């Protein structure tokens, strides 16, 4: 419940539950017993205030021993009472005494293994990308048609057929200077007088799995549009690096090298890429990590783990925000999301030290009103190379609307 109120927060199922049950409802539980089918304790609460959930359906139900209960306090009663049990989830006093909550010795190997996706999971991610790409196209049409940030957001939700609370994360719908705020959360109700740029970072779910897609659009031709096209080339090259065995830290550092070249070619900086990276100049324009694991959580667990027993693989020095430092296992799903931004606080810091001599301030001033650029795809590491679910999804929708 919200503090001091009788209203609950929007329900979000625990990822370990979503891993096995693609139609999660509040209050349910799954019990795993060696050598027996998993038991789904399904709460269909008797309630005249709210609509009770429908009984679970679909082929997946046949894999479970399903027990239907009608009161929340009955759910723990159907858990086995013998043996040694681990309880995964948010600790709940109703379950106390039945086992140990979230034991690290169990969670660590589970989190480590979750990076590698099964064919079923990759299919869920593919469908999530298809749904998200269709909504992205609708959002761009709304932007081009004169909509406000808020109206673009509504059009995205309509096209994806999602309530706001069903989104995997809050949509980032940013026009002009707002695109310089990495997790911009305000939605202006009025359209701006002048349209210069549009950044949209928005995803969609499928059976508990999430897509996480970002595109940046220029309102017209010019320096900013050229920079968007250049970053798109950089992003495609980085996607080409995604394959089993690659150290993702190297993908991140390569992103900085390539962004350094892009900034030099665009006349934003007055030094070579190598010096820009060495002196931390690229971090002024690209301050976040180049990507993360993707799956049951948008920022999926285990990205910094050293192994199934735990520990941590360190981030490169000077790059504290990178969420993924592992060597990529076969089948893992990651985001690849380089960016170039014109963030006032970071530019002010660069102007206050020796970096100011390495920046073409006239170019920066021309680009500040556009905010920034991010391009993000969802990619699977396969033995034959990178499988770009996002580009496939956009291509599929383009083929669907192409004239015969």
pLDDT tens digit string along 217-260?
A: 999 999 999 999 999 999 999 999 999 999 999 999 999 999 99
* pTM more than 0.85: yes
The answer to whether residues 250 and 131 belong to one domain is yes
**367, 152 in Cβ contact below 8 A?**
no
Q: 273 and 392: one domain?
A: yes
- One domain, residues 241 and 283: yes
Query: How far from 223 is each of 234, 249, 339, CA to CA, in Å?
Result: 16, 30, 16
Tens of pLDDT, residue by residue, the chain (404 residues): 899 999 989 899 999 999 999 988 999 999 998 899 999 999 999 888 889 999 888 889 999 999 999 999 999 999 887 778 999 999 999 998 889 999 999 999 999 999 999 999 999 999 999 999 999 999 999 999 999 999 999 999 999 999 999 999 999 999 999 999 999 999 999 999 999 999 999 999 999 999 999 999 999 999 999 999 999 999 999 999 999 999 999 999 999 999 999 999 999 999 999 999 999 999 999 999 999 999 999 999 999 999 999 999 999 999 999 999 999 999 999 999 999 999 999 999 999 999 999 999 999 999 999 999 999 999 999 999 999 999 999 999 988 866 54
Q: Cα(first)–Cα(last) distance of the chain, in Å?
A: 54
Pick the last residue of a domain from 102, 132, 156.
102
Show which of 102, 133, 161 is a domain's final residue. 102
State the Cα–Cα distance between residues 92 and 28, nearest whole angstrom. 13
What tokens were used for 152? Answer: 């673009």
Residue 178 CA: distances (Å) to CA of 72, 169, 235, 368: 44, 18, 22, 10
Q: Which residues of 286-345 form beta strands (DSSP E)?
A: 305-307, 310-312, 333-336, 339-341
3-state secondary structure of 200: strand
Same domain, 140 and 73: no
Examine the domain organization and report whether 171 and 76 are in the same domain. no
Assess if residue 27 is contained within a domain.
yes
Do 332 and 191 lie in one domain? The reply is yes
Domain closes at, from 44, 68, 102: 102
CATH code (residue 81)? 3.40.350.10
Residues 167 and 243 placed together within one structural domain of the fold: yes
Q: Strand runs (DSSP E) across 81-228, as ranges?
A: 86-87, 100-101, 172-175, 197-202, 205-206, 209-210, 213-218
**Parent domain of 70:** 15-102
Task: Name the nearest CA neighbour of 372 among 200, 255, 235.
Answer: 200
The answer to whether 346 and 356 are in contact (CB under 8 A) is: no
What is the distance between the alpha carbons of residues 22 and 17, in angstroms, rounded to a whole number? 8
Angle at 10 between CA 6 and CA 11, to 5 degrees: 110
Shared-domain flag, residues 263 and 201:
yes
Using CA atoms, how far residue 353 sits from 275, 320, 350, in Å, is 15, 21, 6
**Within this chain, do residues 347 and 236 fall inside the same structural domain, yes or no?**
yes
């Amino acid at each position: 419940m919200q503090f001091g109120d009788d209203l609950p927060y929007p329900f979000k199922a625990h990822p370990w539950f979503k891993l096995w049950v693609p139609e999660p409802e509040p209050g349910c539980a799954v019990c795993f017993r060696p050598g027996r089918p998993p038991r789904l304790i399904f709460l269909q609460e008797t309630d005249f205030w709210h609509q009770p959930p429908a009984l679970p359906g679909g082929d997946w139900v046949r894999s479970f021993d399903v027990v239907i209960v009608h009161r929340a306090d009955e759910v723990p009663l159907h858990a086995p009472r013998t043996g040694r049990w681990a309880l995964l989830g948010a600790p709940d006093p109703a379950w106390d005494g039945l086992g140990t909550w979230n034991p690290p010795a169990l969670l660590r190997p589970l989190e480590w293994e979750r990076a590698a996706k099964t064919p079923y999971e990759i299919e869920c991610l593919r469908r999530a990308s298809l749904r998200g790409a269709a909504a992205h196209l609708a959002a761009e049409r709304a932007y081009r048609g004169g909509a406000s940030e808020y109206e673009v957001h509504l059009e995205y939700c309509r096209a994806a057929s999602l309530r706001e609370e069903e989104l995997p994360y809050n949509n980032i719908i940013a026009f002009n200077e707002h695109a310089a705020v990495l997790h911009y959360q305000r939605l202006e109700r009025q359209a701006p007088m002048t349209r210069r740029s549009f950044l949209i970072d928005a995803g969609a779910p499928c059976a508990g799995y999430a897509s996480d897609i970002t595109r940046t659009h220029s309102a017209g031709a010019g320096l900013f549009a050229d920079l968007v096209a250049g970053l798109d080339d950089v992003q495609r090259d980085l996607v080409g690096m995604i394959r089993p065995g690659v150290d993702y830290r190297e993908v991140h550092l390569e992103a900085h090298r390539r962004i350094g070249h892009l900034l030099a070619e665009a006349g934003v900086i007055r030094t070579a890429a190598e010096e820009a990276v060495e002196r931390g100049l690229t971090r002024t324009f690209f301050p976040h990590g180049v990507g993360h694991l993707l799956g049951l959580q948008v920022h999926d667990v285990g990205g910094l783990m050293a192994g199934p027993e735990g520990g941590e693989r360190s981030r490169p020095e000077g790059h504290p925000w990178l969420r993924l430092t592992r060597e990529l296992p076969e089948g893992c799903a990651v985001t690849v999301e380089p960016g170039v931004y014109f963030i006032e606080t970071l530019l002010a810091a660069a102007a206050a030290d020796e970096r100011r001599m390495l920046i073409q301030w006239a170019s920066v001033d021309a680009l500040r009103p556009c905010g920034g650029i991010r391009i993000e795809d969802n990619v699977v590491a396969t033995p034959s190379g990178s499988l770009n679910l996002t580009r496939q999804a956009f291509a599929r929708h383009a083929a669907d609307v192409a004239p015969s």
